[in-house]
Amino acid sequence: MASHRLPSSWRRRRIPWRRMISPLLLVGLWQLASSRGWVDEHTLASPGRVAATARDLWSSGELQHHLAVSLARVAQGLALGVTSGVALALLAGLSRVGEELVDAPLQMLRTMPVLGLVPLFILWFGIGEEPKILLVALGTVFPIYLNTYAGIRGIDARLVEAGHTVGLSRWGVVRHVVLPGALPSALVGLRYSLGIAWLVLVVSEQINATSGIGYLMTQAREFLRTDVIVVGLVVYSLLGLSADLAVRGLERVALAWRPSLVPA
């Protein structure tokens, strides 16, 4: 009997639409509850009002300004955190001495709540940009370190021996065997780091900030503007989703050699 299944390329195109059904239904129920008076507008603004507020903020340029500030903070913090995490993972994963020096302190720091360090960071670095960027960096360093370290230690020893057999130097083995083998785990760590970066930024921008999406939400809270608060939450969620999709695209390109990621 002939199969009537759609081609895989068609299935891939239809999957995103199916994923949108649940969010659209939730928004529809939200709008219905607001229009029927089941939800007070002062408690939670309706989707229509939120959309109108977002349009007004965009038209005035206020949303773009705060968005640019938040993106800059995340980019700087993420770059610092990812670079440090990868460097520490290489040090701990490729050397027994490095593991003894690096892994234990990082495991101890990992259990500390990052947001609990906010008061100390303000005392140490003031109320400028430094504490916000460093908090993002600190929150993102652990996922990338743990996953990259696990990827390095999970490399098959036979592959390393094969590299030495064909004449690769120690650096050659690291470059051509260890790093490609650890890349899938490192990209998983990057996805986790991106999510944590936005979570940390939400809080850090609501403390002694004068700009950013978090600051916009804090100001809105003072005036009971739930529509602006929801706009900020939506922006954060869309930024997180976009970052995750970007890493997934990077995975498809960087890991094209893996059979599971080769298009059918």
Q: Give the position of tokens 């430094």.
A: 130
What is the tens place of the pLDDT at every residue in 106-123? Answer: 888 888 877 778 788 888
pLDDT confidence of residue 164: 67
What's the mean pLDDT in 51-61?
90
CATH of the domain at 120: 1.10.3720.10
Q: Is residue 240 one of the residues assigned to a domain? A: no
Query: CA-to-CA distance for 91 and 106, rounded, in angstroms?
Result: 12
Residue 6 has pLDDT above 60, yes or no: no
Measured between alpha carbons, how far is residue 228 from residues 56, 59, 203 in Å?
10, 14, 16
Q: Is residue 12 one of the residues assigned to a domain? A: no
Residue 76 has pLDDT above 90, yes or no: yes
**pTM of the entire structure?**
0.76
pLDDT confidence of residue 141: 92
Number of domains in the chain: 1
Name the amino acid, one letter, at 26.
Answer: L
Q: Is residue 97 one of the residues assigned to a domain? A: yes
Show the tokens assigned to 123: 């005392």
Residue 105 has pLDDT above 70, yes or no: yes
Q: Is residue 93 one of the residues assigned to a domain? A: yes
What is the tens place of the pLDDT at every residue in 127-172? Answer: 788 888 998 999 899 999 999 988 888 877 777 777 767 766 777 7
What is the tens place of the pLDDT at every residue in 224-251? Answer: 888 888 898 888 888 888 888 888 888 7
Residues 6+ apart with CB under 8 A from 39: 30, 33, 46
pLDDT confidence of residue 43: 78
pLDDT confidence of residue 13: 47
Q: Is residue 102 one of the residues assigned to a domain? A: yes
Say what the alpha-carbon torsion angle 122, 126, 127, 132 is, to the nearest 10 degrees. -60
Q: Is residue 21 one of the residues assigned to a domain? A: no
**What value, to the nearest 5°, has the Cα angle with vertex 164 and ends 159 and 170?**
100
Give the closest residue to 213 by CA, choosing from 120, 137, 140, 132. 132
What is the pLDDT confidence band of residue 27, given thresholds at 50, 70 and 90? Answer: confident
What are the DSSP calls for 24-49, one per residue?
HHHHHHHHHHHHTTSS-TTTS--HHH
Please provide the distance, in angstroms rounded to a whole number, between the alpha carbons at the two ends of the chain: 22
What is the tens place of the pLDDT at every residue in 175-225? Answer: 777 777 788 888 888 888 888 888 888 888 877 778 888 888 888 888 888
pLDDT confidence of residue 262: 45
pLDDT confidence of residue 165: 72
- Under 8 Å between Cβ of 208 and 127: yes
Q: Give the position of tokens 């706009």.
A: 231
pLDDT confidence of residue 258: 65
Counting every residue written for the chain, the total comes to: 264
Query: CA-to-CA distance for 206 and 68, rounded, in angstroms?
Result: 16
Identify the domain containing residue 133 by its residue range.
Answer: 64-213
Residue 84 has pLDDT above 90, yes or no: yes
pLDDT confidence of residue 260: 56
